[in-house]
Amino acid sequence: MSRVIHTGQALVDVVVEVPDLPDRGQNVMATSATDYAGGTVTVLLAAARFGADCVGAGAIGTGPHGDLIRSALGAEGIAVSAPPVEGLDTGICVVMVEPSAERTFVTTLGAERRISVESLATSDPQPGDLVCVTGFSLALAATGEPLLAWLPTLHPDVVVVLDPGAAFATLSEHVREAMLELTDVWSSNAEEAEDILRAVGQEPPTDLAGLTTAVAPLLRGDAVAIVRDGPQGCAVRVGTETTYVPGFPQKPVDTNGAGDTHTGALLAEVAAGTPWVEGCRRANAAAAIKVTRRGPESAPTAAEVDDFLAGRSPLATLPP
C-alpha cells in the first residue's frame, strides 16, 4: 500500500482554554493548559488511525518537546526518517481556544526548521506514495528552499500534496508558481482557496464547488483539488468533474486540528485505493468527530468513522 509521508513541521501545541482573548497589553486567566504533539503530527495520526503506513520526514529536536513528538508518533507506529537535530529542541505553538472553539495561535521556531535535501531524502518516497507539503514550510527559506530543491527529484508517480495554509497566498509569485507546478493534490479550506485566487487576480466564486473548480486550473494538468468549509463539508475536483460532498454539522468543543484530521484521513483512504469522492465523505466524518473532542491528538479511527456513517444518507452531488 502507498505511504503517507509528511515533510512539514511537528510542533508541541500548548493548548490554553480562555474565556476570551485579552485586550492588547492585558491579561486573562486560562481555565486549562495542556501540551500535545501537534502540527504535522495531527495529519499523520489521522492517517495512521485509518490504517496508512506513515512517515514523518521533518526535523525533530532533542529535548522535552522533541521527546513528546517522537513518543506520540511512535505510539501510533509512525516512522521518523531523519536523525534528531542535536542541541536544539522542537518549537511550540500556543493555541488559545475560546468557548466558541475558535482558535488563535502564536508559534515559535525550533529544530523543526532544520531540514535539508539530504534529511528529506531519508524518507525515500516510492511511486504511489503521497508526499505532503505545507505552505508554512515554504514561508521560510530554511525549509522552503530545501523542499523546492528536493521535490523535483522525486519519481513522477510520487503524489505531491499541498496543504497551503494561510501562508501560501502571501508567498512570492516565484515560490507559489514553482510549488503549484509540482502539486498533484491541493487540499485547503475555503478561505485559503479564496486567498490564492485573489493573489492571482481572480474574483473567488461564492460557492464551494465553484471555488474548487476555480482552483484546479492553477495546478498541474491532472491534479485533484479539495476545498473544505467546516461543517458544510467539502468539494473535490477530479478530472473535469467537481462533486460537492456534504459535511456532518456537530456542536464543536475544539476545532484545532479538524482540517489536518480531514487531510490525514483522506490521504489514508486514497493510499488504500478509495475513490476521491468516497474518501472525502469519510474524511468529512473524521473531521466531524474530531471537533467533538479536545486536543490535536484526538483523531478518530476508521472503525469509529464506520460507526458514525452507519445509516447516514448517501452522497449529495450538488452544492448547498
Where do the structural domains in the chain lie, given as residue ranges?
A: 3-9+38-91+109-309
Q: d(Cα 192, Cα 26) in Å, to the nearest integer?
A: 31
| pLDDT under 70: residue ranges of the chain | 313-320
Per the DSSP assignment, residues forming a β-bridge with 10 are 39
Query: Which residues have a Cβ under 8 Å from the Cβ of 30 and sit 6 or more positions away?
Result: 16, 17, 18
Give pLDDT, residue 297: 84
Give pLDDT, residue 254: 82
Query: For 259, how many CA atoms within 13 A lie in the half-sphere containing its CB?
Result: 21
Per the DSSP assignment, residues forming a β-bridge with 69 are none
Give pLDDT, residue 317: 43
Strand extents, DSSP E, the chain: 3-6, 10-17, 32-39, 53-56, 79-80, 92-97, 103-107, 130-134, 159-163, 185-189, 224-228, 233-238, 241-246
Give pLDDT, residue 314: 58
- What would be the CATH architecture of the domain defined by 3-9+38-91+109-309? 3-Layer(aba) Sandwich (3.40)
What DSSP character marks residue 207?
S
| Per-residue pLDDT tens digits for 215-266 | 999 999 899 999 999 999 999 999 999 999 999 999 998 888 899 999 999 9
Give pLDDT, residue 311: 77
Q: d(Cα 125, Cα 155) in Å, to the nearest integer?
A: 8
Between the alpha carbon of residue 67 and those of residues 33, 89, 296, the distances in Å are 19, 9, 17
The pTM of the whole model exceeds 0.85: yes
DSSP class per residue in 104-157: EEEE---GGG---HHHHHTT---TT-EEEEEHHHHTSHHHHHHHHHHGGGS-TT
3-state SS assignment for residue 208: helix
